[in-house]
Chain A
């Protein structure tokens, strides 16, 4: 809306600012307090594609999925009140998993603030503990500056979600528009300086170590340091294990990739955590699901912690050498100081543990002889069909652990899952976002029958956008992960974990999505191949053995070396 003075409205300034930040995709849901911005979106629809999800939570997870595969900032819009509160779960998820996201919410007019006006909620207060930064804007003239700052903060340093709340009067108000990108905020240091001294100390420990072991996290992916990381481990020959969010940073079949650490991780890396003489943590934060009982976690080892966020240093595990900074810078420096090595015997130990795990767990899971289908054999078929080139999106529960354990990855940024928050309902919308963030790639969502029904309405968004997401529901008619705990720790008292499910195939078809259900092993391969071949959204339900459990497992409170195989 231009007037004679070339002034534009705050709402238009929002859209122009987004265009300046190269945003061409937004997930959101309109409502009263954000209508002026939607009106501008209508005018700028050639430049920005707004995807109407079916629930605001879906918009956040879609933005997360988009960001995780593309490395770009996910953008979300919602109205005030319930629209804004519906974002909270996704924002919390993005915060704990360090996903860059900018959420723009409408707010009641500034003169109504604090009056309990219709659809007024204190979204700044509500979102404060789960945002990297948030800010309310009540004057149109502040919009470009605040949005520039929002994008800078969301994506710099350790990324995270930012929420900007814009009052309706600020959206209408006219202003002189000028956009300047933000390159610094004086009170904020996104990347701490590294110390050459500490890198030297780290290299010394590495050169002296007989049994060094690397555990890497999402930092390798967020730091865009996959190649640097691979160079380091190949030069030093150090066995390397991943946290759930580090998955796909190193190809599955790399000879130094020894599997997953943590509660349902692999046998070798968990047990040998308590046998290594040097533990090198790279871009990970020693989550309790990774460490088990801290009192008996790697006590025998020296610890090197390479990390961008100073608050993570010594938070859970105290390090002997902390290397702050961006690993994209620090890893190559470290690589240049370490000796070439190969820890053949030590690596062999991991392989021996793998053989035990294979005999006791993996073989029965991927080549089952019993009648019921296992989750792992479905993943094996997906691997066969996609050759490890797909982006795999998972929800939360048994299927998530099984998928992360068995899925094969050739490329980075291919594993999209809710790690830190464990948000059921994440996968379906996140898969939509992933497909839109990497349209040339195959995207397969693997979801439990419980979590699927938490955001099942996003089938509508998938259908409306025509995104060729492949949806696999592993149906065990249970909230499987909770059931497994009830079986193991609550004498099989299955309190409210059994699900009586609808006809999922009919529901998918109701959204005009091609769908099939498989309950027999002999039909599985063809069904998976047919799904992967399809160029359209596709739904596949697989009936899974009801009481299929995930092993190995570190019971809560136990040490990593007490991991159970059965």
Chain B
């Protein structure tokens, strides 16, 4: 229905422009839509950037919102997808006291079972990296937390769509001559 909310991944292809982040976030803010995560990076095309924004909203709202985003001059195209239409991941980093690694045998097992990677080991701390779905990084968090986490951080979602987005085509077409 009109008000039923789900998770949507909004993908936006843009020219690199200083003020664009401001413009785009204002579109969400104005409608009181909380941004769950936001990632920007280079895209598959040179000098074209890609935003991946995750929001919890109704499709009614997201449809209108994506059109407003697309209307911005420096936005090339904007799409929205449900989770089953994309391949998506997040990365989390866990910083743990080195002492626990040696004192608590169980930790090693946790790391192994979770298929996480040890990125760095130093005399005082070591850092574990886990990439996967939210449930995976959360599970590892819950398992490590009792041993004391010095720091924890999780990236925004990155995602690619299953269907093509045809940005090159769009770029080729946009001319008013």
A residues within 8 Å of B by Cβ?
124-125, 128-129, 132-136, 153, 156, 183-191, 309-311, 313-315
Binding site for A on B (CB under 8 A): 14-15, 18-19, 22-23, 26, 30, 63-64, 67-68, 70-71, 73-76, 171, 173-177
Which residues of chain B have C-beta atoms less than 8 A from A185's C-beta?
A: 73, 174
Central interface residue in B19, B23, B68, by most chain A CB within 10 Å? B19
The residue in chain B whose Cβ has the minimal distance to the Cβ of A156 is B176
Docked CA distance A136–B70 (Å)? 22
Kindly report which residue of chain B lies nearest to residue A312, judged by CB atoms.
B67
- Nearest neighbor of A157 in chain B, beta-carbon distance: B176
Given contacts A136-B18, A189-B173, A314-B63, 8 further A-B contacts (CB under 8 A): A129-B30, A184-B174, A184-B176, A184-B177, A187-B75, A311-B67, A311-B68, A311-B71
Determine if A186 and B26 form an interchain contact, defined as CB atoms under 8 angstroms apart.
no
Partner of B19, one of A124, A153, A314: A124
> Please, how many angstroms separate the alpha-carbon atoms of A186 and B177 in the complex?
12
Which residue on chain A has the smallest CB distance to residue B71? A311
Scoring A124, A184, A187 by chain B CB atoms within 10 A of each residue's CB, the highest score goes to A187
Check if B71 sits within 8 Å of A183, measured CB to CB. no
Residues of A within 8 A of B176 (CB): 156, 183-184, 189-191
Bound-state Cα–Cα, A135 to B174, Å: 21
Is A184 within 8 A of B63, CB to CB? no
Asked whether A188 lies within 8 Å of B174 as measured between CB atoms, the reply is: yes
List the B residue with the shortest CB-CB distance to A134: B19
Judging by beta carbons under 8 Å apart, are A186 and B63 in contact? Answer: no
Q: Which residue of A lies closest to B64 (CB)?
A: A315
Set of chain B residues within 8 Å of A129, measured between Cβ atoms: 23, 26, 30
Beta-carbon contact of B64 and A132 below 8 Å: no
Q: Are B175 and A133 in contact (CB under 8 A)?
A: no
| Docked complex Cα distance between A73 and B130 (Å) | 55
- Across the interface, which residues of A come within 8 angstroms of B173, CB to CB? 189
A-B contact list, 28 entries, CB within 8 Å: A125-B22, A128-B23, A128-B26, A129-B30, A132-B73, A134-B19, A135-B19, A136-B18, A153-B73, A156-B176, A183-B176, A183-B177, A184-B177, A186-B76, A186-B174, A186-B175, A187-B14, A187-B76, A188-B74, A188-B174, A189-B173, A189-B174, A309-B71, A310-B70, A311-B64, A311-B71, A314-B63, A315-B64
**B71–A186 CB distance below 8 A:** no
Contacts of B74 in A (CB 8 A): 133, 187-188
- A310, closest chain B residue (CB): B67
A-B CB proximity, top 5 nearest: A311-B67, A184-B175, A187-B76, A133-B73, A184-B176
* Complex: A153 Cα to B19 Cα, angstroms: 16
Q: In the assembly, what is the distance between CA of A136 and CA of B175, in Å?
A: 24
A128 touches B19 (CB 8 A): yes
B176 closest partner in A (C-beta): A184
Q: List B contacts of A183 (CB < 8 A).
A: 175-177
Least distance between B175 CB and chain A CB atoms (Å): 4
Q: Quick one: which of B68, B73, B177 has the most chain A CB within 10 A?
A: B73
What is the chain B residue whose CB lies nearest that of A133?
B73
Q: How far is the CA of A315 from the CA of B60 in the complex (A)?
A: 9
Inter-chain CA distance A183–B177, complex, in Å, is: 7
Q: Which residues of B contact A124 (CB under 8 A)?
A: 19
